């Protein structure tokens, strides 16, 4: 009896201690403090380890990363989902490729080394007329036509997306020297109808283009080989607590892929991608863990989303934009996180600060800046940051009219796209502080009736019109 009574008393005391420790509701400040440097370091040291072999799209390492992210969402009490896409690795067949340009009575036969190809199909055209695209970047009617322009004007993701949307039959991109383009991968349902792209790196060919004389082209290109592999975006939703606002969504995103393995037989072969963008991915995980711990969820719903294939041309985000998990018209903002861990920006050290791409394109940056300031984090303006707007995953949603920006701590840093981008070089204390500031901004936006808007600037016009 005495033992039983003692055991009962001990059990009661432990229960009182445990319940007493959790009886106080978790405040917003408490929730934000759950974002820790230790949690970020632990997750990133695995995600960016050699064991994941650089998380190339597709690869075994990418699949392991997806499962790891899902497990961390589960640990936060969220139910993960895999948005699986049909993906193909394409290897161009250049064994018998032939590209000949004719101008007047002259002909220029290009060598195999002069061309880089991106195509899902064989191409055979003979002495076909070429429409030369204007220098001002204004795209004329091109449907069904072979078009040609300079890489410096039409070779960006923005211009190629616009060109492809006008349905030309073939795109020729000219430059003075050979392209180093490595893009050989496709999403079956989003790119199957795209026109083949041939990049021509030849000074004489470029001179023919810039002379604006009539050009004809002959092309023979055999069908490529392909290897199909499924790849997935990994997502989890934190449902909103307000009966009305829970039907509106904020997306907090990052890409979890990187460049895979270096083509070499010696030395360090792994592109670990710790900062780009393992840091963004673990930031999404930590923010999800913190906000999910609040006993009363934010009023609006929050979709935590990690993408595959950013390094192959924003593939995962473009796939999501075509197959959204929640209605795009009800998505009020996308906050995309890139390169959150390094502070050694090439323009100078950035501590306790972050910047936006396209900061003047909408009022979302000013909304988030107010919350960041309260957390002791400043928002800085990176020179040339607008040029980064179309180079990260926010762009795919912006093209659909969703207010979408990318946040970076260091826009450019040593080891960018190099094997030296490793988890040991991350400033985890600073990353935790910045992540808390971002999370505070997400909470502020989620708990008010404010809806961000595109600005009236000329740069935002295409996104503003898409939003209508």
The confidence band for 193, taking pLDDT boundaries of 50, 70 and 90, is confident
Is 19 within a domain?
no
Q: What is the mean pLDDT of residues 162-167?
A: 90
To 10 degrees, what angle do helices 60-75 and 279-292 make?
A: 20
Give the pLDDT confidence score for residue 16 in this predicted structure.
Answer: 41
82 and 206 together in one domain:
no
- Per-residue pLDDT of 209-222, as tens digits, reads 988 889 999 999 99
Q: Which residues pair with 227 in a beta bridge?
A: 89
Give the pLDDT confidence score for residue 55 in this predicted structure.
Answer: 98
- Per-residue pLDDT of 325-346, as tens digits, reads 999 999 999 999 999 999 999 9
Last residue of a domain, one of 226, 256, 285: 226
236 and 222 together in one domain:
no
Number of domains in the chain: 2
Is 22 within a domain?
no
98, 220 Cβ separation under 8 angstroms: yes
Give the pLDDT confidence score for residue 18 in this predicted structure.
Answer: 42
Share above pLDDT 70 across residues of the chain, in percent, rounded to a whole number: 92
Give the pLDDT confidence score for residue 5 in this predicted structure.
Answer: 41
Rounded Cα distance between 290 and 30, Å, is 9
Give the pLDDT confidence score for residue 28 in this predicted structure.
Answer: 87
Give the CATH number, domain containing residue 122.
Answer: 3.50.30.30
Look over the chain and give the mean of its residue pLDDT values, rounded to a whole number: 91
Q: What is the CA radius of gyration of the chain?
A: 25
Give the pLDDT confidence score for residue 226 in this predicted structure.
Answer: 85
Last residue of a domain, one of 199, 226, 253: 226
Q: What is the mean pLDDT of residues 36-62?
A: 97
The helix (H) or strand (E) run that includes residue 466 is helix 461-467
The dihedral of CA 236, 242, 247, 248: what is its sign?
Answer: negative
Residue with tokens 């600005």: 455
The helix (H) or strand (E) run that includes residue 47 is helix 37-47
Is 331 within a domain?
yes
Is 315 within a domain?
yes
Backbone angles phi, psi at 140, to 5 degrees: -75, 175
> Two tokens at 214?
């009539």
Which of 32-36, 59-63, 107-111, 160-164 is predicted least confidently? 160-164
209 and 242 together in one domain:
no
114 and 82 together in one domain:
no
The helix (H) or strand (E) run that includes residue 333 is strand 331-337
72 and 125 together in one domain:
no
Q: What is the mean pLDDT of residues 31-51?
A: 97
Rounded Cα distance between 335 and 397, Å, is 11
Give the pLDDT confidence score for residue 361 in this predicted structure.
Answer: 97
Q: What is the mean pLDDT of residues 361-370?
A: 97
374 and 285 together in one domain:
yes
258 and 275 together in one domain:
yes
Give the CATH number, domain containing residue 267.
Answer: 3.40.630.10
Is 11 within a domain?
no
What are the Cα distances from residue 176, in Å, to 152, 199, 286, 319?
10, 11, 46, 33
Give the pLDDT confidence score for residue 190 in this predicted structure.
Answer: 63
349 and 453 together in one domain:
yes
Whole-structure pTM value: 0.82
**Pick from 325, 56, 316, 83: which is nearest to 190 by CA?**
316
Q: Is 25 helix (H, G, I), strand (E, B) or coil?
A: coil
Share above pLDDT 90 across residues of the chain, in percent, rounded to a whole number: 76
What are 5-14's contacts with CB under 8 Å, separation 24+? none
44 and 117 together in one domain:
no
What are the Cα distances from residue 428, in Å, to 39, 61, 142, 440?
9, 23, 50, 18
The confidence band for 416, taking pLDDT boundaries of 50, 70 and 90, is very high
Is 2 within a domain?
no
Domain that holds residue 325: 28-87+228-467
Q: Which residues pair with 171 in a beta bridge?
A: 147, 197
Which of 209-213, 430-434, 451-455 is predicted least confidently? 209-213
Residues in CB range of 457: below 8 A, 6 or more apart:
360, 361
pLDDT of 141 strictly over 80: yes
259 and 350 together in one domain:
yes
332 and 293 together in one domain:
yes
202 and 315 together in one domain:
no
The confidence band for 179, taking pLDDT boundaries of 50, 70 and 90, is low
Cα 163 to chain center, whole Å? 21
Is 23 within a domain?
no
pLDDT of 30 strictly over 50: yes
Is 16 within a domain?
no
Burial grade of 265 (CB within 10 A; 0-12, 13-18, 19 or more): exposed
- Per-residue pLDDT of 244-294, as tens digits, reads 999 999 999 999 999 999 988 889 999 999 999 999 999 999 999 999 999
- According to the 3-state scheme, what is the secondary structure of 267-300? CCCECCCHHHHHHHHHHHHHHHHHHHCCCCCCCC
- Per-residue pLDDT of 284-309, as tens digits, reads 999 999 999 999 999 999 999 999 99
Residue with tokens 């903002």: 333
> Angle at the Cα of 245 (from 232 to 401), degrees rounded to 5?
55
Last residue of a domain, one of 173, 204, 226: 226
Residue with tokens 């949603």: 397
């Amino acid at each position: 009896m005495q033992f039983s009574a003692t055991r009962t008393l001990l059990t009661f005391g432990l229960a009182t201690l445990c319940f007493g420790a959790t009886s106080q509701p978790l405040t917003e400040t408490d929730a934000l403090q759950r974002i820790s440097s230790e949690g970020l370091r632990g997750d990133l040291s695995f995600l960016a380890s050699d064991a994941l072999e650089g998380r190339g799209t597709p690869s075994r390492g990418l699949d392991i990363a997806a499962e790891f992210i899902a497990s961390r969402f589960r640990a936060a009490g969220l139910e993960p989902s895999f948005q699986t896409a049909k993906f193909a690795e394409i290897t161009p067949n250049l064994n018998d490729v032939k590209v000949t340009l004719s101008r007047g009575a002259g002909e220029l036969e290009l060598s195999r080394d002069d061309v880089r190809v991106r195509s899902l199909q064989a191409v055979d055209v003979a002495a076909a007329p070429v429409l030369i695209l204007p220098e001002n970047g204004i795209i004329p009617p091109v449907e069904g036509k072979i078009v040609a322009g300079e890489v410096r004007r039409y070779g960006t993701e923005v211009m190629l997306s616009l060109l492809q949307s006008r349905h030309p039959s073939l795109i020729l991109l000219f430059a003075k020297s050979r392209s180093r383009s490595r893009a050989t991968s496709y999403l079956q349902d989003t790119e199957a109808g795209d026109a083949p792209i041939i990049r021509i790196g030849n000074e004489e060919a470029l001179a023919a283009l810039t002379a604006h004389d009539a050009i004809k082209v002959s092309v023979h290109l055999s069908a490529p080989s392909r290897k199909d592999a499924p790849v997935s975006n990994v997502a989890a939703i934190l449902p909103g607590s307000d009966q009305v606002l829970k039907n509106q969504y904020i997306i907090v995103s990052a890409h979890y892929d990187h460049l895979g393995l270096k083509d070499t037989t010696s030395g360090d072969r792994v592109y670990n991608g710790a900062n780009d963008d393992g840091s963004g991915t673990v930031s999404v995980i930590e923010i999800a863990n913190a906000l999910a711990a609040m006993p009363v969820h934010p009023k609006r719903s929050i979709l935590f989303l990690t993408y595959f294939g950013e390094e192959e041309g924003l593939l995962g985000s473009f796939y999501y934009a075509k197959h959204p998990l929640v209605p795009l018209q009800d998505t009020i903002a996308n906050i995309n996180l890139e390169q959150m861990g390094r502070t050694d920006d090439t323009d100078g050290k950035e501590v306790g600060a972050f910047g936006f791409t396209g900061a003047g394109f909408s009022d979302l940056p000013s909304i988030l800046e107010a919350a960041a300031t309260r957390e002791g984090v400043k928002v800085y303006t990176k020179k040339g940051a607008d040029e980064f707007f179309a180079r990260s995953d926010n762009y795919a949603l912006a093209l659909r009219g969703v207010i979408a920006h990318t946040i970076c701590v260091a826009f450019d840093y040593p080891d960018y796209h190099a094997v030296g981008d490793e988890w040991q070089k991350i400033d985890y204390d600073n990353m935790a502080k910045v992540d808390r500031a971002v999370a505070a901004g997400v909470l502020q936006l989620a708990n008010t009736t404010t809806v961000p808007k595109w600005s009236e600037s000329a740069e935002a016009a295409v996104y503003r019109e898409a939003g209508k």
